[in-house]
């Protein structure tokens, strides 16, 4: 039976940090602020996978109060979510995600993101969808104060 989970994450853009999205470092004047590497895309996908199998969210599994996760690569969180799917006898059917950022332009990095995510999840690249959009200069995203990510995960679990 296919189960679906949804994830959402947002982080502010600040100077002095690397910008990492989908496990790929993107050249930009600012990076996302957070306890780990603040990869909003991976955080949203992780929550979507955890939701699909009825688990708690990323913040409960990897709390920002735990120094273990300080500056940690978010791939660790994603791999753990995929491991939990497999531990239940499940299979990731597909991932679909959207990034909302005014700048930098995301499109040139989508292919590398798909490669990174499919490797981390252990699924074919074709099962990972990523889209990018702007916020038409509206709100905190439009003012280039932050980046948001949304994701949906479909997971086939035994009944």
Q: Looking at residue 17, what is its pLDDT?
A: 97
Arithmetic mean of pLDDT, 93-101: 98
Model confidence at 92, in pLDDT bands (50, 70, 90)? very high
Q: Looking at residue 111, what is its pLDDT?
A: 97
Number of Cβ within 10 Å of residue 87's Cβ equals: 9
> Has residue 159 got a pLDDT over 90?
no
Strands 24-26 and 91-100: unpaired
Beta bridge partners of 149: 9, 99
CA atoms 77, 56, 3, 100: torsion sign: negative
pLDDT tens digits, residue range 26-77? 999 999 999 999 999 999 999 999 999 999 999 999 999 999 999 999 999 9
Give all domains of the chain, ordered by start, each with its CATH number: 2-156 (3.30.1330.50)
Question: Residue 50 in contact with residue 82, Cβ under 8 Å?
Answer: no
Arithmetic mean of pLDDT, 122-147: 97
Question: What pTM does this model have?
Answer: 0.97
> Has residue 118 got a pLDDT over 90?
yes
Model confidence at 141, in pLDDT bands (50, 70, 90)? very high
How confident is the prediction for the chain on average, in pLDDT?
Answer: 97
Residue of 38, 45, 22 lying closest to 30 (CA atoms): 38
């Amino acid at each position: 039976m296919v189960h679906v989970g949804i994830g959402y994450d947002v982080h502010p853009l600040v100077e002095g940090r690397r910008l990492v999205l989908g496990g790929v470092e993107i050249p930009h004047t600012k990076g996302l602020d957070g306890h780990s590497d603040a990869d909003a895309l991976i955080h949203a996908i992780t929550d979507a996978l955890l939701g699909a199998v009825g688990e708690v969210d990323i913040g409960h599994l990897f709390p920002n109060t735990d120094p273990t996760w300080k500056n940690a690569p978010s791939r660790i969180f994603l791999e753990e979510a995929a491991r939990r799917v497999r531990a239940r006898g499940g299979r990731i059917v597909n991932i679909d995600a959207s990034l909302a950022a005014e700048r930098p332009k995301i499109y040139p990095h989508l292919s590398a993101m798909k490669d990174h995510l499919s490797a981390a999840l252990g699924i074919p690249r074709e099962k990972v969808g990523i889209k990018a959009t702007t916020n038409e200069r509206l709100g905190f995203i439009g003012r280039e104060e932050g980046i948001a990510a949304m994701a949906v995960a479909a997971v086939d679990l035994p009944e």
